Structure formats: structure tokens, C-alpha cells
């Protein structure tokens, strides 16, 4: 089943089998991310390698392990785990009415501008609140620094004090 998941990208199975297979496949992908000869031998030992076939039953040029190392593992090179997803389906299996799920490899999406920095949603919200508070504080300071209409600017009293002190020294 692991070979089928790597070959097709998604398989339909029961919930119990999918939960067991998920950990096995994620370990294989993590090992394959190293892309060394030792990693390749570990994967071959755990997963019996086989040639892949197309829809018409003809053999393709790649084996499952080659596809794992050349296509699947590089796709998840920057992802720290969670390479698979389980989607519960509404229909049940005929015969024993077992819960059906779709186990699939997660497609890597293009990161958004905010997510490119690797910042969590919680951090972005905190930064946004902090920026809003700073903007409000700056606006309040700007309002308090502006003199009310008809009052002298703050620099003029200081200049008047200096002029008075100069006159007193002359006398």
C-alpha cells in the first residue's frame, strides 16, 4: 500500500489501515530526504521496490523508490513533517461497512507573502496589535505636542526666558 501511495499520490482505504500506513510512509519520506546511498538502502529494505506501471499496464522507466527519491522527497525538503493527509469519506465499504478514507500526500502550496517569513498566525496578530498601539501612541503624542489654537508654540516661551535672562545679566 505504501508503494501505491508513493506511485499514485493518493489511495482509498479503511481508516485503520490509513492510520497505520501514515506513520510508515512519513518515516520513509523523512529517510529519503537525506538522499544518501545508506538512506536509499534503508528505504529499499523497508519497502519492497517494484517497477511502476501506467494505466494500460505497461512498465514505466522508474521504480517506486526512484520516484520517492527523485520527485516526492525533494518536494518536502523544507517541510518538517506531516507529509500525508487523511480525508474521511461519507461512503462505507460494501460487505463490512468499514469507514473509508482517502490517504494522500500533501501538495506543497506556494507560500504567501506573510508566511514566507515563517511567522505563525499568532505572531502576525501580535505584531499587528503592537503596530496599531504604536500608531495610536504616536498620534496621541502628536496631538499633545501641537499647541491649542491661540496659544504660543512651545519653543517661544523658551526663547522669551533666554531673552529675559540676557537682559538681567546686562543690568
Which residues touch 48 (CB under 8 Å, ≥6 apart)?
A: 3
**Alpha carbons 121 and 110: distance in angstroms, whole number:** 17
Same domain, 10 and 85: yes
Question: How many domains are there within the chain?
Answer: 2
What would the mean pLDDT of 164-171 be, rounded to a whole number? 68
Tens of pLDDT, residue by residue over 64-119, are: 999 999 999 999 888 888 899 999 998 888 888 888 999 999 986 555 554 556 78
Residue 153 lies in a domain: no
Same domain, 67 and 92: yes
The whole-number pLDDT of residue 61 equals 82
Number of alpha carbons in the 13 Å side-chain half-sphere of residue 79: 20
The whole-number pLDDT of residue 18 equals 94
User: In Å, what is the CA distance from 102 to each residue of 7, 56, 59, 86, 142?
Assistant: 15, 23, 26, 6, 59
Tens of pLDDT, residue by residue over 21-73, are: 999 999 999 999 999 999 999 999 999 888 777 777 888 888 899 999 999 99
Same domain, 57 and 23: yes
**Alpha carbons 8 and 123: distance in angstroms, whole number:** 37
Q: Is the pTM of this model over 0.75?
A: no
The whole-number pLDDT of residue 52 equals 78
CA-wise closest residue to 85 among 68, 100, 107 = 107
Same domain, 55 and 71: yes
10 Å Cβ neighbour count for 118?
9
**Domain containing residue 60: CATH number:** 3.90.1030.10
**In which domain, by residue range, is 75 found?**
2-105
Amino acid at each position: 500500500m505504501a508503494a501505491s501511495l508513493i506511485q499514485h499520490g493518493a489511495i482509498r482505504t479503511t481508516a485503520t489501515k490509513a492510520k497505520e500506513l501514515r506513520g510508515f510512509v512519513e518515516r520513509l519520506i523523512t529517510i529519503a530526504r537525506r538522499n544518501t546511498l545508506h538512506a536509499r538502502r534503508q528505504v529499499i529494505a523497508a519497502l519492497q521496490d517494484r517497477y511502476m506501471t501506467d494505466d494500460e499496464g505497461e512498465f514505466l522507466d522508474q521504480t517506486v523508490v526512484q520516484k520517492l527519491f527523485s520527485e516526492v522527497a525533494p518536494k518536502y525538503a523544507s517541510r518538517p513533517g506531516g507529509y500525508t493527509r487523511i480525508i474521511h469519506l461519507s461512503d462505507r465499504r460494501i460487505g463490512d461497512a468499514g469507514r473509508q478514507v482517502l490517504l494522500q500526500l500533501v501538495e506543497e502550496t506556494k507560500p504567501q507573502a506573510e508566511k514566507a517569513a515563517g511567522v505563525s498566525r499568532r505572531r502576525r496578530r501580535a505584531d499587528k496589535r503592537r503596530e496599531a498601539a504604536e500608531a495610536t501612541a504616536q498620534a496621541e503624542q502628536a496631538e499633545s505636542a501641537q499647541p491649542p489654537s491661540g496659544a504660543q508654540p512651545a519653543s517661544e516661551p523658551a526663547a522669551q526666558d533666554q531673552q529675559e535672562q540676557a537682559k538681567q545679566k546686562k543690568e
